[in-house]
Amino acid sequence: MHDQFDVTLEDQDLLREVELTTNLIIAASETDEHLSLEEIDQILGVARPAAG
């Protein structure tokens, strides 16, 4: 009988998304304050466009 929950997770995009989400959860749990947008961007590796 095949176990529908016995699956191999090989989706690289999904794995990266889980990693990013985990990093955000860890960062949020390590502070008593809200994370700023800049901190979130840094954790996610997002560069904001230069103003002007």
Task: Tell me the pLDDT of the chain (52 aa) as tens digits.
Answer: 778 777 776 788 888 999 999 999 999 999 999 999 999 999 999 887 777 6
Q: In the chain, what is the greatest distance between 2 CA atoms, to the nearest angstrom? A: 62
pLDDT at 21: 95
Give me the pLDDT at residue 51, please.
Answer: 73
The model's pTM: 0.66
Q: State residue 41 phi and psi, 5-degree precision.
A: -60, -40
As a whole number of Å, the end-to-end CA separation of the chain is 62
Q: What is the DSSP letter of 33?
A: S
Q: What is the pLDDT of residue 52?
A: 64
Specify the pLDDT at position 9: 62
Give the CA count within 13 Å in the CB-facing half-sphere of 42.
Answer: 6
Amino acid (1-letter code) at residue 48:
R
